[in-house]
Amino acid sequence: MNLRTRLFSISMAIAAVMTAVMVADRVQTHRAALIDKTQSRSADLADLASEAAVYALRSGRTERLAELLSPFAEMRQVVYIKVLDRSGRPVHRSGAIGIDIDARDTDASVTGVEDGIYDVTRRLIKDDEDWGTLRLGISTESIAESVGTALRRGLLIGLSFLALLAALLWRISALGGRDMAMLVEAAGGIKSRTLPPLPKVDSESEVGRLSSAFSELHSGLKDERARRKELEDNRKDFFAMAVHDLKQPLTVLKAVNEMVLESAQSGPDGDKRDLGRISELSGESIERLSDMVEDLLNISRLDSPDIPLDKRRIGLSSFLRGCSRDFSAAAERAGRKWVFSDESGEGAWIYGDEKLLKRLVGNLVMNAVQYTPEGAAIHLGARLAEEGHVEIYVRDEGVGIPEELREAIFEKYRTFSDSNRNVGLGLAFCKMAAERHSGRIKVSSETGKGTEIAVSLPVSGQKESGA
């Protein structure tokens, strides 16, 4: 239900209740007035009829009662008249057919009457002498009829008023609602390139202020979109350039290495050994460079969720041992102590892309080496974490990461390093890789003391055989 319909329904409900209360009040007042009127008219009638009855009884001519009381008996509202003499003997009885006059009881007032006849009893006392009793039945049906008519009229007027009000309110709400409908439309289209038209109203009104807030929001979004596009284009350009630039020297290096190898095979023994060693070393570097190119390509793979990863079941212990073997040498060569501890329990499996996960650990180790002074220790390990997860961690005794940077370090191209060799992709890659493995990465650090970055991954559930 839209705002206009809701406001309209609420107003109409209030108006309907108020109209019903007013009609009921009017009818009640009308009924009370009718009862009063009937009460006093009945008293007047009873007085007049009593006079006539006393006259007949005093003169001892009870046979004249019928004649004297006939004007009353003929009245429409008089249902019956009965006269008793002082000994209680009925001396006159007249009334409408079907009325059991003798069985009637006296009513206290018109208000309590239920059968439509108000029964009045009068003692006939004249000059302190009791002449008997007069009983009179007055019809109250006209009250019910009149109340019914008043109720019907009240309802008719009330309903006409409500219908008029409804038409008026609907028209008024249509005027205000049109602006609101335009705002709702604009809100729906706030993300589109061109904002749907906004209502032209007084800029100080609520609708006017909302309207200008919408325009500002729309142009803000447009600017933000343009800024993001520019960033994305820059990133793509950078990425393409980096891969391109890396590939060229790689190809050259590969060719040179092959040439060196050929000369080593054809030259004297001493040269063979030296050249063989040179070729081996440059071969390792080429391998590492190739890995880096692959990393860059991996980042773009992780960026698009549609590209599947090469996931398999991996024995955690052997995976960690492999990482330790591969990365300890570099850390030790750089003068850091290497500590390896696997507390993940025997035979845990994880499910993932082994190359990517290894690269993830490698990045954490590379950071630990870079942001740790010589002689400090670097720990690689794993432990059981919350239900069904293991945590692989790399801990160092380095400079630490200030609290305010602990989120930013995971953003792409955010580096806080002074070295111009850093591009700020390492941890962004780690986070993306962890997330593509339904894992999480968390950092705990103390400035000046060290950092631990841990990746929690779901355990695959089956035992590692022979590991």
Ligand X SMILES: Nc1ncnc2c1ncn2[C@@H]1O[C@H](COP(=O)(O)OP(=O)(O)OP(=O)(O)O)[C@@H](O)[C@H]1O
**Contact flags string 15-34 toward ligand X, x per CB under 6 A:** --------------------
Subset of residues 401 to 430 that bind Mg ion, contact rule: CB under 5 A:
426
CA dihedral 131, 137, 138, 143 (to 10 degrees): 150
* CB neighbour list of residue 287: distance below 8 Å, 6 or more residues apart: none
Residue placing its CB nearer to ligand X in the complex, 147 or 423: 423
Partners of 135 in the β-ladder = 82, 121
Residue placing its CB nearer to Mg ion in the complex, 50 or 367: 367
Count the helix, strand and coil residues of the chain and give each as a percent rounded to the nearest 5: 60, 20, 25
- Long-range CB contacts for residues 87-96, cutoff 8 Å, separation at least 24: 88/132, 88/133, 91/57, 91/62, 91/65, 91/132, 92/53, 92/62, 92/65, 92/66, 94/66, 94/69, 94/70, 95/137
Residue 396 binding partner per list ligand X, Mg ion, none, with a CB distance cut-off of 5 to 8 Å that depends on partner kind: ligand X
CA angle 399, 400, 404 (to 5 degrees): 130
Residue placing its CB nearer to ligand X in the complex, 92 or 395: 395
Q: Which residue is nearest to ligand X (CB)?
A: 426
Which of left, alpha, beta for 450 (phi over 0: left; psi -120 to 50: alpha)?
A: left
Using alpha carbons, list the distances in angstroms from residue 330 to 336, 368, 376: 9, 11, 14
Beta strands 129-139 and 78-85 are antiparallel
Least separation, in Å, of the C-beta of 355 and ligand X? 18
Q: Which of 173, 279, 324, 367 binds Mg ion (CB under 5 A)?
A: 367
Binding status of residue 362 toward Mg ion by CB under 5 A: no
Least separation, in Å, of the C-beta of 422 and Mg ion? 6
Least separation, in Å, of the C-beta of 332 and ligand X? 17
The two tokens of residue 54 are 């006393």
Residue placing its CB nearer to ligand X in the complex, 242 or 250: 242
**Contact flags string 113-152 toward Mg ion, x per CB under 5 A:** ----------------------------------------
Least separation, in Å, of the C-beta of 400 and ligand X? 6
**Contact flags string 447-466 toward ligand X, x per CB under 6 A:** ----x---------------
CA angle 364, 395, 467 (to 5 degrees): 80
Residue 417 binding partner per list ligand X, Mg ion, none, with a CB distance cut-off of 5 to 8 Å that depends on partner kind: ligand X
Count of residues that interact with Mg ion, criterion CB under 5 A: 2
242/270 Cα distance (integer angstroms): 39
Residue 116 binding partner per list Mg ion, ligand X, none, with a CB distance cut-off of 5 to 8 Å that depends on partner kind: none
Residue placing its CB nearer to ligand X in the complex, 170 or 340: 340
Least separation, in Å, of the C-beta of 367 and Mg ion? 4
Residue placing its CB nearer to Mg ion in the complex, 398 or 426: 426
Least separation, in Å, of the C-beta of 416 and ligand X? 3
Residue placing its CB nearer to ligand X in the complex, 52 or 430: 430
Q: Find, among 454, 462, 316, the residue nearest to 385 by Cα.
A: 454
Residue 164 CB neighbours (<10 A): 10
Residue placing its CB nearer to ligand X in the complex, 33 or 231: 231
The DSSP string of 379-432 is: EEEEEE-STTEEEEEEEE-SS---GGGTTGGGSTT----S-TT--S-HHHHHHH
End-to-end CA distance of the chain: 64
Sheet containing strand 117-126, strands side by side: 90-95, 78-85, 129-139, 117-126
Q: Find, among 110, 139, 125, 123, the residue nearest to 83 by Cα.
A: 123
Using alpha carbons, list the distances in angstroms from residue 467 to 4, 162, 250, 314: 70, 85, 37, 11
Least separation, in Å, of the C-beta of 280 and ligand X? 26
Least separation, in Å, of the C-beta of 406 and ligand X? 9
Least separation, in Å, of the C-beta of 413 and Mg ion? 12
Least separation, in Å, of the C-beta of 329 and Mg ion? 19
Q: What are phi and psi of 94, to 5 degrees?
A: -145, 145
Count of residues that interact with ligand X, criterion CB under 6 A: 20
Residue 423 binding partner per list ligand X, Mg ion, none, with a CB distance cut-off of 5 to 8 Å that depends on partner kind: ligand X
**Contact flags string 160-199 toward ligand X, x per CB under 6 A:** ----------------------------------------
Least separation, in Å, of the C-beta of 420 and ligand X? 10
Residue 83 binding partner per list Mg ion, ligand X, none, with a CB distance cut-off of 5 to 8 Å that depends on partner kind: none
Subset of residues 378 to 437 that bind ligand X, contact rule: CB under 6 A:
396, 398-401, 409, 415-417, 422-428
The residue count for the chain: 467
Q: Find, among 163, 154, 176, 172, the residue nearest to 15 by Cα.
A: 163
CA angle 56, 59, 62 (to 5 degrees): 45
Residue 371 binding partner per list ligand X, Mg ion, none, with a CB distance cut-off of 5 to 8 Å that depends on partner kind: ligand X
Binding residues (CB under 5 A) for Mg ion: these are 367, 426
Binding residues (CB under 6 A) for ligand X: these are 367-368, 371, 396, 398-401, 409, 415-417, 422-428, 451
